[in-house]
Amino acid sequence: MTTLPETVGVLGGGRMGAGIAHAFLLAGARVHVVERDAESADAARERVQTALARSAQKGIEIPDADDLTTGVGTDAFADAGLVIEAVPEDRAFKLDALARIEGAVRDDAVVASNTSSISIDALAGAMRRPQRFLGLHFFNPVPASALVEVVTGVATTPEVVRAATGWVEAIGKTAVVVRDAPGFASSRLGVALGLEAIRMLEEGVASAHDIDTAMELGYRHPMGPLRTTDIVGLDVRLGIAEELERAFGARFTPPALLRDLVAQGHLGRKTGRGFYEWSER
Ligand SMILES: NC(=O)c1ccc[n+]([C@@H]2O[C@H](COP(=O)([O-])OP(=O)(O)OC[C@H]3O[C@@H](n4cnc5c(N)ncnc54)[C@H](O)[C@@H]3O)[C@@H](O)[C@H]2O)c1
């Protein structure tokens, strides 16, 4: 199995960054999380520590407290073999973050973005070493998710792809290698299924429950496409569909029902109502 870098850097210790830090810590790496200010750095530390405590409760061996460091300056990435960017999903923001990471790391470090929708080639365009850059798309929540999409840009070298795939396996997850394309593999297929299910509901083909049950029992999906959309968030799915529509045309045009529910503030589990009623949030 590929050996993990001794030190892994994470820029942005929010929901995803903290989950990523937790995963590498459990696998034995030292992790340095950099945040935008001291208060956010403390909050990030708290998030990672909470996740570690939860692992300990499950009987999982957790690392020494000093394997996790948090702070504000990217200088601390100087000895990292891998740095993963997990700042908010905004292209200009990410370009700036990646430039700061590149300015801090050694030449042989691999730099990755956890973007869920921005083109890896677009992000690589501003980088000095695009050959050592790729996407590592983790899923939410990271501890419960077995998948990481390894997204390769045109410049990413096969050696970097091999190393990254090995690291994903070393943290106990499964890697799929995807060429940089809108929606990568997971969002494109998942949203396609979700949009068709919504159109079927609009056309009165079956109830939400029966459409979901058809996929759960007929195709052994662990969860039907409408319930999945409720959990992901209707607003999140609408945003992805609009982006995929721009890239691929009418087959990703969001159905009116999806737009209407979002406009009414019915965003799924987080607001208590989407295609289902959710009493517990
Ligand atoms: N939440 C999801 O379901 C999910 C799933 C897969 C990928 N992603 C992607 O992961 C990335 C992060 O998403 P998230 O949900 O963790 O967001 P989040 O808002 O929870 O976390 C972002 C973190 O970045 C920090 N940050 C902001 N500016 C910074 C700066 N200049 N320097 C350092 N840190 C900074 C914020 O303080 C915050 O803690 C996004 O690109 C998102 O698209 C999210």
**pLDDT per residue as tens digits for the range 189-210:** 999 999 999 999 999 999 999 9
pLDDT over 80 (residue 280)? no
User: For 155-170, how does the pLDDT look when each residue is reduced to its tens digit (9 = 90+)?
Assistant: 999 999 999 999 999 9
For strands 147-152 and 133-138, give the pairing: antiparallel
The answer to whether 156 and 146 are in contact (CB under 8 A) is: no
Residues counted in the chain: 281
What is the pLDDT, as a whole number, of residue 126? 83
Instruction: Reduce the DSSP state of residue 138 to 3 states and report it.
Output: strand
Q: Please state, in angstroms and rounded to a whole number, the distance separating the CA atoms of residues 50 and 43.
A: 11
> Residue 259 and residue 253: Cα distance in Å, rounded?
10
Residue 259 pLDDT > 90: yes
Could you tell me the distance, in angstroms and rounded to a whole number, from the CA of residue 17 to the centre of ligand 1? 7
87 close to ligand 1 (CB < 6 Angstrom): yes
Q: From the CB of 240, is ligand 1 less than 6 Å away? A: no
- The verdict on the CB of residue 91 being under 6 Å from ligand 1 is no
Q: Are 102 and 130 in contact (CB under 8 A)?
A: no
Q: State yes or no: cis peptide before 88, omega within 30 of 0.
A: no
Using the mean position of ligand 1's atoms as its centre, give its distance from the Cα of residue 12 in Å.
6
Q: What is the pLDDT of residues 77-122, one digit of tens each?
A: 999 999 999 999 888 999 999 999 999 999 999 999 999 889 999 9
Question: What single-letter DSSP state applies at residue 3?
Answer: P
Cα 45 → chain centroid: 19
Q: Is 26 helix (H, G, I), strand (E, B) or coil?
A: helix
How far is ligand 1, taken at its centre, from the CA of residue 178, in Å? 22
In the β-sheet with 133-138, what is the strand arrangement from edge to edge? 68-71, 30-34, 7-11, 82-85, 110-113, 133-138, 147-152, 174-179
Task: Judge contact between 134 and 154, C-beta under 8 A.
Answer: no
Ligand 1 midpoint to CA 18 (Å):
9
Q: What is the bridge-based pairing of β-strands 30-34 and 7-11?
A: parallel
pLDDT of residue 2: 79
Whether the CB of 17 sits within 6 Å of ligand 1: yes
- Closest ligand 1 atom to residue 16 Cα is 16
Ligand 1 binding pocket includes 14 (Cβ within 6 Å): yes
In this prediction, what percent of the chain has a pLDDT beyond 70? 99
- The answer for residues whose C-beta is within 8 angstroms of residue 229's C-beta and 6 or more apart is 194, 197, 198, 237, 268, 274, 275
**Cα 58 from Cα 244, distance rounded (Å):** 39
Q: Is 270 in the pocket of ligand 1 (CB under 6 A)?
A: no
pLDDT digits over 116-144, tens only? 889 999 999 989 999 999 999 999 899 99
Spell out a b/e string for 181-207, using b for 16 or more CB atoms within 10 Å of the CB, else e: ebbbbebbebbbbbbebbebbeeeeee
Q: What's the CA-to-centroid distance between 87 and ligand 1, angstroms? A: 4
What's the rounded mean pLDDT across residues 12-20?
97
The predicted structure's pLDDT at residue 74: 96
Choose the weakest-confidence range: 63-67, 173-177, 255-259. Answer: 63-67
Q: Which of 11, 33, 35 to mutate to test the pocket of ligand 1 (most atoms within 8 A of CB)?
A: 35
Q: How far is the CA of 24 from the centre of ligand 1 (A)?
A: 17
How far is residue 99 CA from its own chain's centroid? 20
Q: Whose CA is nearest to atom 4 of ligand 1?
A: 140
Residue % of the chain over a pLDDT of 90 = 94
Separation of CA 115 and ligand 1 centre (Å): 9
Q: Is the pLDDT of residue 268 over 60?
A: yes
Residue bearing the bigger pLDDT, 236 or 217: 217
Q: Of the candidates 10, 5, 2, which has an alpha carbon nearest to the alpha carbon of residue 40?
A: 10
150 three-state secondary structure: strand
Predicted local distance difference test score (pLDDT) of residue 242: 94
Which amino acid, residue 75? D
pLDDT value for 81: 98
- Verify whether ligand 1 is closer than 6 Å to residue 35 (CB atom): yes
Pick the closest to residue 79 from 114, 41, 30 (CA basis): 30
Is 115 a pocket residue for ligand 1 (Cβ < 6 Å)?
A: yes
Binding site membership of 118 for ligand 1 (Cβ less than 6 Å): no
Is pLDDT of 281 > 80? no
Summary mean pLDDT of the chain: 96
Region 142-156 average pLDDT: 97
